[in-house]
């Protein structure tokens, strides 16, 4: 093998040496951000975000507005119903005032209790023709009894806590029976303060 004597063996080997790399990297790294699948994922993500924002910023407020409007309608209906009921209030008040007892009437002695007393004491012994009660006085007109029997009836009445005082007016009976009288008995009734039970 000939070589230039002026060259060293090492220099000559370097000149004769061939490239040692016998392969070439032909791999191309594709940009995946532009692939259809990746673009679709981005689009789906964007739609989800937009949907969430739309629910929070649009759909939920609209639902709340609908709920408030429905509540306002319900309250308006209740108000109209209440006003319709109140429209009859003056008439109801007038009827109540007409039929309800006054404070003065409430302070009067119980009329039914007075009638029961007269019925229990006088009716078994005499013929009652009239009973009138006005304010705190009762007038009982009866007949068919003697003066002694009348005094006994008056004594029984005055034992009642309903009776404050009695006044008797008598007249001879028109039927001609001896000692039988017609009686007008005036009974002054007690008030609430005077009607405490009496001690014998």
Beta bridge partners of 131: 140
The tens digit of pLDDT for each residue in 102-146 reads 666 667 888 899 999 999 999 999 999 999 998 899 999 999 999
As a whole number of angstroms, the distance between CA 180 and CA 171 comes to: 9
Predicted model pTM: 0.46
In sequence order, which residues have a C-beta less than 8 Å from that of residue 147 and are 6 or more positions away?
170, 179, 181
Under a CB-based contact definition with an 8 Å cutoff, are residues 147 and 173 in contact? no
As a whole number of angstroms, the distance between CA 128 and CA 176 comes to: 18
The tens digit of pLDDT for each residue in 14-62 reads 665 555 556 665 555 555 555 667 777 777 888 888 888 877 888 888 8
pLDDT(200) > 50 = no
Among candidates 127, 125, 186, which has minimal Cα distance to 152? 125
CA 71 to each of CA 57, 61, 167: distance values in angstroms, whole numbers, following the listed order: 22, 15, 72
pLDDT(194) > 60 = no
């Amino acid at each position: 093998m000939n070589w230039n004597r002026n060259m060293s063996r090492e220099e000559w080997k370097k000149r004769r040496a061939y490239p040692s790399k016998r392969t070439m990297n032909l791999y191309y790294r594709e940009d995946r951000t532009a692939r259809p699948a990746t673009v679709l994922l981005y689009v789906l993500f964007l739609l989800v975000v937009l949907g969430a924002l739309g629910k929070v910023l649009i759909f939920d407020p609209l639902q709340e507005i609908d709920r408030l409007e429905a509540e306002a309608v319900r309250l308006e209906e209740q108000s109209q119903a209440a006003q319709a009921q109140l429209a009859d209030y003056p008439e109801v008040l007038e009827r109540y005032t007409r039929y309800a007892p006054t404070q003065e009437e409430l302070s009067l002695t119980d009329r039914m209790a007075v009638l029961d007393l007269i019925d229990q004491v006088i009716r078994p012994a005499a013929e009652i023709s009239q009973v009138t009660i006005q304010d705190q006085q009762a007038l009982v007109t009866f007949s068919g009894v003697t003066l002694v029997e009348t005094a006994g009836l008056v004594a029984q009445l005055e034992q009642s806590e309903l009776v404050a005082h009695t006044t008797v007016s008598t007249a001879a009976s028109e039927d001609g029976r001896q000692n039988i009288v017609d009686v007008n008995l005036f009974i002054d009734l007690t008030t609430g303060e005077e009607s405490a039970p009496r001690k014998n």
